[in-house]
Amino acid sequence: MNKTGVFLAGRMNRPTTKLNTTESSQEDVDTDSTSTKHFGSEKHHNVQPDPAGPRLWTGFPSDVSLPGIFPHPHQGIIQPTLMDTVNLSSVPGPSSSSYHSSISAPWLNNECLFYNMMPVDLPAPVTNIHVAQAMGHQQVWEGLSEVTPHFTQPVVCNVYGSGQVAAIDICEPTFTTSHNCSAHADVSVLGTPSQYYQAACRLYESNMQPQDPLGRAAGTVCESEPRKPCHCSRSKCLQLYCECFANGVMCSNCDCSNCYNNAEHEVRRYEAIKLYLGRNPDAFRPKIAGGESGKVKGWHIKGCSCQRSRCLKNYCECFEANIKCTSSCKCVGCRNYDERSEMDPIEKTCKDKGPASVITTAMVEDVCNHLVAQAEKAEREGQSPIQAERMVLVEFGHCLTQIVKSMFKDK
DNA sequence: GAGTTTGAAACT
DNA sequence: CAGTTTCAAACTC
């Protein structure tokens, strides 16, 4: 069971492969075979490699000039007008869902994005710009948070079947409106899948560390705060059952057996990470939104599903996180509700509640804290008033997104 | 410490 | 998407 600080499981993009950590299938998850499988091999995705190379993107072609778009090969700007020109749903490919299998809208921190792409039949010439477009368009697709292109984190982009991957470190994001956004991108092609894994994991690890008051609670193997050891025996600590793995932490001083969540099993660990990110880009995100600042405790984005504990025992993720259940929860007979919010006095259930019970006072306080924190951050950094305002607005957008997701998750 | 209960994750 | 199984943490004795 995952507990406080464990990560959000949101919209699923289930692959056809399953994560199998049993002994009988260990080899399936090992080295080359899985690299091929998880990188969308021809076999797995029924896509034949293009003899001319990847059709979507292999980096910045030296002969492509994009004046005004990418000023130079390592400092690009994603133009807003271009973002609206590509409709991914209309792009032919083996699977429209697998084409843009994973890109997440960052919520609270600078964690790494893993972005997988299938080589599809895009009209030539296809350039890196299409990636930018795809990313921007996907952002628009994903919802409110996604239309705010807060690309503050590195992006690891894998072009399926191409044998090439790229790390995109996008910085200095700016935000104005959902149709007017830009981001500066530093893009470099990494090359082989193994390089991808290494880069992905580096970024994953580095960005899982606590970074700011709005960041996740979990750290990495190098975390400074003590962490409860896991006791996994069957999952090899490579499933989300394992708290360490779910928190993006390598097992250390745990009581687990047959653990693969360590540096000795990097490849397998990366495979698992990538698989879960492929299924769900938010797989390693905190389940508890906000709640890192002061007395405000945040809220459980997905909500609990308790049946018997009445949400009064630590079996309940909300209770254990010391937060109240909301209408996002599917619990029955809940006693862990915010008395300041509307709650069915008879059933004491969090089901089928309106926004009044979704937007709890804790949420409101939390949002306010976040906005203040953002303003203070801007002040510390000596940002201009306009930039400070922008930062606060971006943060507000993030908060709203989470609230909206909570409200409509089960609707 | 062993066994049971619980609910999230994984699977069908 | 609902039902079932698996898993590991929480809990009880």
Tens digits of residue pLDDT in A378-389: 988 898 889 988
Q: Integer distance in angstroms from CA A410 to C1' C1? A: 12
Q: Integer distance in angstroms from CA A308 to C1' C5? A: 19
Q: Do A270 and A315 fall within a single domain?
A: no
A316 touches strand B (CB under 7 A): yes
> Is residue A243 a part of any domain in this protein?
yes
Counted domains in chain A: 3
Q: Do A271 and A291 fall within a single domain?
A: no
> Is residue A16 a part of any domain in this protein?
no
Return the top range by mean pLDDT from A5-9, A19-23, A173-177. Answer: A19-23
Q: Do A292 and A277 fall within a single domain?
A: no
**Tens-digit pLDDT profile for residues A153-209:** 334 443 333 333 343 333 323 222 222 223 333 333 334 444 545 555 555 554 444
Q: Do A272 and A306 fall within a single domain?
A: no
Q: Do A273 and A247 fall within a single domain?
A: yes
Q: Do A391 and A372 fall within a single domain?
A: yes
A307 touches strand C (CB under 7 A): no
A268 vs A287: CA distance, rounded Å: 25
> Is residue A270 a part of any domain in this protein?
yes
- Residue-number span of the structural domain to which A302 is assigned: 286-338
Q: Do A295 and A262 fall within a single domain?
A: no
Q: Do A235 and A280 fall within a single domain?
A: yes
Q: Integer distance in angstroms from CA A240 to C1' C1? A: 21
A18 touches strand B (CB under 7 A): yes
Q: Integer distance in angstroms from CA A222 to C1' B5? A: 34
> Is residue A184 a part of any domain in this protein?
no
Residue A287, CA: closest nucleotide via C1'?
B8
A179 touches strand C (CB under 7 A): no
Higher pLDDT: A1 or A73? It is A1
**For residue A232, pLDDT beyond 90:** yes
A234 touches strand C (CB under 7 A): yes
**Residues above pLDDT 90, as percent of chain A:** 10
Bases of strand C lying below 7 A from some protein CB = 6-11
Closest residue to B8 measured CA to C1′? A1
Return the top range by mean pLDDT from A95-104, A309-318, A342-351. Answer: A309-318
A156-185 burial, b for 16+ CB within 10 Å, e for fewer?
Answer: bbbbbbbbbbbbbbbeebbbeebeebbbbb
A13 touches strand C (CB under 7 A): no
> Is residue A97 a part of any domain in this protein?
no
**For residue A345, pLDDT beyond 90:** no
> Is residue A384 a part of any domain in this protein?
yes
A320 touches strand C (CB under 7 A): yes
Q: Integer distance in angstroms from CA A335 to C1' B3? A: 28
Q: Integer distance in angstroms from CA A143 to C1' C11? A: 41
> Is residue A125 a part of any domain in this protein?
no
A58 touches strand B (CB under 7 A): no
**For residue A268, pLDDT beyond 60:** yes
A276 touches strand B (CB under 7 A): yes
Closest residue to B9 measured CA to C1′? A241
Lowest mean pLDDT across A114-128, A332-346, A395-409: A114-128
> Is residue A55 a part of any domain in this protein?
no
Residue A308, CA: closest nucleotide via C1'?
B6
A313 touches strand B (CB under 7 A): yes
**Tens-digit pLDDT profile for residues A39-89:** 233 333 333 333 333 332 223 233 332 222 222 333 332 233 223 222 222
Q: Do A333 and A376 fall within a single domain?
A: no
pTM metric for this prediction:
0.49
Q: Integer distance in angstroms from CA A1 to C1' B7? A: 7
